Structures are given as C-alpha cells and as structure tokens.
Amino acid sequence: MDHVELTHSAIDVNQISKLIGSKNCGAQSIFIGTTREDGDDVKVEKLVYEAYESMAIKMMKTVCGELRAKWPLIENVAICHRLGSVPVGETSIVIAVSSPHRKDALEAVHFAIDRCKAVVPIWKKEVFSENGISRWMENKECEWSSSNAELTS
C-alpha cells in the first residue's frame, strides 16, 4: 500500500505508524522532519510551505515506485507533507516504511527523504521571530536548484 498526502493540518505520526503496520513486517522505519528554531544566526518562528499540489502528489507516488523497485520486499509506504504554516517543534514531513526486515526499511526511508527533497515541488519560507522578516529557502538537493545546476555543470 502506498499512501501519499499533502495536508494543512498537524500530522499524526501514530496514525501513520498504524497505517503502514502489517503482520508480515518486523520493521517500521519512520522519518519525522520538524521545524527547528535556529536559522543562520536568527531564530525561526515558523516555516511556511507551498506546493504545486497535483505535481507534488504525482512525484510522491513516483518516489514510492522507486522505493519498490529498489527494495521489493517493503510492504507499505507513507509520505505525508504539511503545507501552510508549521511552527517550531511541529512536524513538516513524515516518511514511513514497513518491511519484513529493518535494513530495507531504514535504507528506503533514507532514500525517500532525499528523493522527496530532490523531486517534489514543495517550497519553504522561513519566518523569523525577532523581526517578522521572511525569506524563501532554496533546497540545494532539488533537481531544478540553481545551486545544484552549478554543481552538475
């Protein structure tokens, strides 16, 4: 089962764990990305995420397919990303994989977060607590990033 979701609500990690659970699997690996306070010498109040939603869902499904091609024994995959305002300490993304064995689950989750950052069209803006100023952040892993283009040129 592949479950992909974009949500403007808080992400319930326990619900996602239940969703990917299986009697056939001895391993669940779950990555939880949260908003952190420090941001290049200033304190972050929140992150604001925007997405090209239909393309983001399509690319999240593509990542699920890539996982299944590389780790055929994995059973369930969930990728859930929050949109809108995400205050410090709250969850921005959850990637969860169940498989019969831990190695596949751990490797698949690591691969999935890197691929999501590279190909899923989601953008984030940092909003600073001290002055309310904000800035859009460039994700260096993303395939269309100018930083990445310089590295591959």
Q: Is 140 annotated as a binding residue?
A: no
Q: Is 141 annotated as a binding residue?
A: no
Q: Is 124 annotated as a binding residue?
A: yes
Q: Is 102 annotated as a binding residue?
A: yes
Question: Would you tell me how many other CB atoms lie within 10 Å of the CB of residue 87?
Answer: 14
Among candidates 99, 110, 107, 123, which has minimal Cα distance to 6? 123
Joined together, the tokens standing for residue 81 give 């990303």
Q: Is 117 annotated as a binding residue?
A: yes
Q: Is 125 annotated as a binding residue?
A: yes
Rounded CA gap, 35 and 89, in Å? Answer: 5
Detail the residues annotated as belonging to a binding site.
101-102, 117, 124-126
Detail the residues annotated as belonging to a binding site for substrate.
101-102, 117, 124-126
